[in-house]
Amino acid sequence: MSGSTTEKAGRSGLALRLSGALHRRLTLPPRPAGGVWFFVILAIAALVLAPVLALLWQASRGSVTLWSHLMGSVLPHALGQTLILMGGVGVLVALSGTLLAWAVTAWDFRGRRLLEWGLLLPLAVPTYIVAYAYLDLLHPIGPVQEFLRQMLGYTSPRQFRLPDLRSMPGAIVLLSLVLFPYVYLPVRAMFMTQAANLLEVSRTLGLSRRQAFWRVAVPSARPAIAVGVSLALMEVLNDIGASEFLGVRSLTISVYTTWVTRSDLPGAAQIALAMLLLVVALVSLERWARRNQRYSVNAQRARMIEPLLIRGPRAWGMFALAALPMVFGFLIPAGYLAAEAVQRFHTAGLSPQLLREAGNSFTISALATLAVLICGVIIACGARLFPSHALQIAQRISGLGYAMPGTVLAIGILTVSAGFDRSLDAAMQSWFGVSTGLLLIGSGMALGYAYLVRFLGIASGSTEAGLTRFPRSYDHAARSMGRSAAGTVFSLHLPLSRSAIAAGGLLVFVDCMKELSATLLLRPLNFETLATHLYGEAARGTYEEASIAALAIVAVGILPVILLARVGGQARRRAS
């Protein structure tokens, strides 16, 4: 769709301007980075960097004596557990996300349209909720085992019970069940828009469908797989609730223990920053490994893959297999929550408070998503328009917030926001004798800032991934025909990467809805969200009281999934 827009614009403008504008631009050296863009992007990067620097300052205030204790009795185990957990989840989500994306783009079968968006639904289920739901369902006194005992004729769980879910394999499977869409989503977008040309060529050269998948589709989707897997793994690093339930002692738990149990914030900041270094190293390694590869197709119009129609038992088998992650990652936990919520509704009714909390969650998440998307697009497009080292670094910095455990990052943001609030308050008092109180924290803006820092990487990353698919010659053409930088963004980048941006927006929104650490720490007085309500109940072990809130988080998370499915559907219809 977008290819044709540019072509038209190109044809009409070309004849008129070619002689003057193009000639002038081709003979001049590339323009230096646009001044305004440069400063705006640096400012955004500075906003993200500020809390990390605040943490660095916190860390530097501590002693290093902590490390001898950590090295001796904590790190070997915690590091090992973290690596196994990340490795397990990484492999599972990469495999399942990619195969599922391939299944719904390369084949056409009954139920495929349902799966296309149905496979996104697990995104709406936070990791701690899926862990809680399955623990209850599969507990020896839960419904599943009770049923099994009845079938087998046992009367007590002391006679027969299944192995405990609370284990490393259990954690890997449960986390993967809700995190695979992070891979499925970008990889499907990649397959849909890019792979067609390459695949057709590979098929004419005699590759089978299976060979084409492994030798063409997968390698060409590598940036998308890498982005998806790294997002999923950062969610794993950020998780505390599910690990706590499932008895996995990850590094994040060590950070948390150091801070909360030993009241050693500097120590916690030190471990968190060390983890950040590890993540940055991993991400850089992946980028370095594909440094010499280009992933854009040529300037011809991108086309959709022509899916192969299958019918009969094969189609049913395909549907059943591909539907499994949706069933286990969404239908079962959501169904369980719904059943609990109905029961709760009967005993306690629906409190008006809950509606207010839902409103709060939705409003703050929607506003924050908008801000995050605007900043993300500015960064990704700016870095593409004006390639320079400074902007590339700024782009990398924008992803930092997502690579740290949210609990610790929230403290960095608190330090920055409260520092600003206090200075402003003091200044206003001494100059004008008025107190501004806590401007950022009191108004909820600190919360928006936290979401920006935390999720900017998703928005800029997905926009970047969307743009990478298109060759730079598009940009050169637009610029040489006299489009300003902003004009290029609006007429070229945004239309071209629309579905990638929408996908990023979806992830950001759902993540904001689920976000807990920063929300808990930074919200103003009398401002509860669904997530904080749920946490309040969970903290005293009364989950069922919050089953309606949990269901609401999941339900609100579904809205953008549907929205995104529609955007994707439109793009597909227009393209075909």
Using CB under 8 A as the binding rule, the residues of this chain from 166 to 185 that contact other proteins are 166
Please report how close the Cβ of residue 466 comes to other proteins at its closest, in angstroms.
20
Please report how close the Cβ of residue 544 comes to other proteins at its closest, in angstroms.
6
Per-residue CA distances from 572 to 65, 177, 465, 565, 566 (Å):
58, 27, 19, 10, 10
**261 in contact with other proteins (CB under 8 A):** yes
Please report how close the Cβ of residue 409 comes to other proteins at its closest, in angstroms.
12
**5 in contact with other proteins (CB under 8 A):** no
**Residue ranges in 282-341 that form contacts with other proteins under rule CB under 8 A:** none
Rounded to whole angstroms, how far apart are CA atoms 15 and 140? Answer: 76
Q: Could you tell me which of 364, 92, 341 has the C-alpha nearest to residue 225?
A: 92
String of DSSP letters for 348-369: H---HHHHHHHHHHHHHHHHHH
Contact between 129 and 554 under an 8 Å Cβ cutoff? The reply is yes
Cross-strand partners of 429: none
**Residue ranges in 374-403 that form contacts with other proteins under rule CB under 8 A:** 374-375, 378
**Residue ranges in 78-117 that form contacts with other proteins under rule CB under 8 A:** none
Please report how close the Cβ of residue 470 comes to other proteins at its closest, in angstroms.
24
Residue choice 440, 447, 558, 571 for contact with other proteins (CB under 8 A)? 440
Q: Could you tell me which of 356, 359, 355 has the C-alpha nearest to residue 367?
A: 359
Pairing of strands 308-309, 107-108: parallel
**471 in contact with other proteins (CB under 8 A):** no
Q: How many residues bind other proteins (CB under 8 A)?
A: 80
Residue choice 21, 338, 425, 498 for contact with other proteins (CB under 8 A)? 425
Cross-strand partners of 108: 309
Cross-strand partners of 277: none
Per-residue interface string for the shown chain with other proteins, residues 238-257, x marking contact by CB under 8 A: ------xxxx-x---x--xx
Name the residue nearer to other proteins (CB basis): 200 or 544: 544
**435 in contact with other proteins (CB under 8 A):** yes
**Residue ranges in 337-376 that form contacts with other proteins under rule CB under 8 A:** 343, 347, 371, 374-375
Rounded to whole angstroms, how far apart are CA atoms 381 and 368? Answer: 20
Per-residue interface string for the shown chain with other proteins, residues 519-548, x marking contact by CB under 8 A: -xx-xxxxxx---xx-xxx-xxxx-xx---
Rounded to whole angstroms, how far apart are CA atoms 257 and 406? Answer: 14
Name the residue nearer to other proteins (CB basis): 54 or 227: 54
**222 in contact with other proteins (CB under 8 A):** no
Contact between 108 and 308 under an 8 Å Cβ cutoff? The reply is yes
Name the residue nearer to other proteins (CB basis): 12 or 159: 159
Contact between 481 and 11 under an 8 Å Cβ cutoff? The reply is no
Per-residue interface string for the shown chain with other proteins, residues 32-71, x marking contact by CB under 8 A: --------x--xx------------------------x--
Integer-rounded Cα Rg, in Å, for the chain is 25
Rounded to whole angstroms, how far apart are CA atoms 444 and 524? Answer: 6
